[in-house]
């Protein structure tokens, strides 16, 4: 069974087709770099996969099930453009909250473990609004990994991260890949993404124009994929 089956997905905003007939199959354990220029449709596609938005036509199955099923959502971790954390709650309260929402056996213990892992246990009781941008980003990364998701959907995960947060995220993604998790990340940071990716998908004006394994040429020259498959 594939981790992800996207069947002829279309998405319209009014009359404008933001996604056009996207067909994509992603095997379990793959790390897919979803590439494309601004406005190509990467975020729209990730939102549909995450069940945050409905497709106008077509279907998305995660591990063979509908993305909006509760059992499916339990298996997904989503990191969007923003941190999705509450400024007026502490780091510990934020992670415990999401631990409870994902019905973890011991949300507090898991939150403590994750705070240790992302290097924020020292400030566990500090309010998120008092954190630096890098600390907030690390906490957001911790939130996504908190419930050990099998499928990770990351939208521009490296954007605005400081060095330490990038290191934490890369370590968690490598670890996740080694554990057989499926990772789909949209990004403009080609070098970081192609270092991690096993597969590449390129979206252009809402259409999937390339999908396949990441080759050594792509890793050596991140612009290669745009030069070869992108718009001239």
Partner 1 sequence: MLYLRQVFTIAAKDLRSELRTKEALNSSFAFSMVILVLFSFAFDPSSEQLHEISGGLLWLVYSFASALSLNRGFARELENDCLDALVASPVPVSALFLGKAVANYALLMAVEMVGFLVFGLLYDVQAAHYFWPVLLVIALGTWAMVVVGTMFSAVTVNLRMREMMLPIIIYPLLLPALMAAMTTTTDLLNGAPFGPNLIFLRVLAAVDLIYTLLSMIFIEFVLVG
Interface with partner 1 (CB under 8 A): 50-54, 68, 70-71, 73-74, 76, 78, 80-89, 93, 97-98, 100-103, 143
Least distance between partner 1 and beta carbon 41 (Å): 17
DSSP one-letter code for 52: S
By C-beta, is 83 or 172 nearer to partner 1? 83
Rounded Cα distance, 211 and 191, in Å: 18
By C-beta, is 70 or 220 nearer to partner 1? 70
Least distance between partner 1 and beta carbon 83 (Å): 5
Least distance between partner 1 and beta carbon 189 (Å): 20
Rounded Cα distance, 16 and 19, in Å: 9
CB 189 within 8 A of CB 82: no
Residue 94: closest CA among 105, 107, 106: 107
| Cα dihedral sign, 140-189-215-208 | positive
Least distance between partner 1 and beta carbon 22 (Å): 18
R_g of the chain, CA atoms, integer Å: 18
Kindly state the tokens that stand for 197.
């990716």
Rounded Cα distance, 141 and 126, in Å: 17
CB 94 within 8 A of CB 143: yes
By C-beta, is 146 or 190 nearer to partner 1? 146
By C-beta, is 50 or 111 nearer to partner 1? 50
By C-beta, is 81 or 109 nearer to partner 1? 81
By C-beta, is 131 or 158 nearer to partner 1? 131
**Which phi and psi angles does 140 have, rounded to 5°?**
-65, -40
Least distance between partner 1 and beta carbon 86 (Å): 6
Least distance between partner 1 and beta carbon 74 (Å): 4
């Amino acid at each position: 069974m594939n981790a992800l089956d996207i069947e002829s997905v279309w998405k319209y905003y009014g009359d404008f087709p933001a996604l056009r007939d996207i067909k994509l199959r992603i095997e379990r354990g793959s790390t897919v770099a979803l590439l494309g220029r601004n406005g190509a449709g990467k975020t729209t596609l990730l939102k549909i996969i995450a069940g945050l938005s409905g497709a106008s036509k077509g279907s998305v199955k995660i591990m063979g099930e509908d993305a909006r099923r509760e059992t499916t959502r339990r298996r997904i971790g989503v990191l969007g453009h923003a941190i999705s954390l509450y400024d007026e709650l502490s780091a510990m309260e934020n992670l415990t909250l999401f631990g409870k929402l994902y019905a973890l056996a011991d949300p507090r213990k898991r939150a403590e473990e994750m705070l240790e892992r992302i290097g924020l246990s020292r400030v566990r009781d500090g309010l998120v609004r008092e954190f630096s941008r890098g600390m907030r980003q690390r906490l957001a990364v911790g939130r996504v990994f908190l419930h050990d998701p099998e499928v990770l959907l990351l939208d521009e995960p490296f954007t605005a991260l400081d060095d330490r947060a990038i290191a934490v995220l890369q370590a968690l993604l490598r670890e996740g890949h080694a554990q057989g998790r499926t990772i789909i990340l949209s990004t403009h940071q080609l070098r970081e993404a192609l270092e991690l990716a096993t597969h590449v998908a390129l979206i252009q004006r809402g259409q999937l124009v390339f999908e396949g394994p990441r080759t050594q040429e792509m890793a050596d020259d991140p612009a290669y994929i745009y030069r070869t498959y992108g718009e001239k």
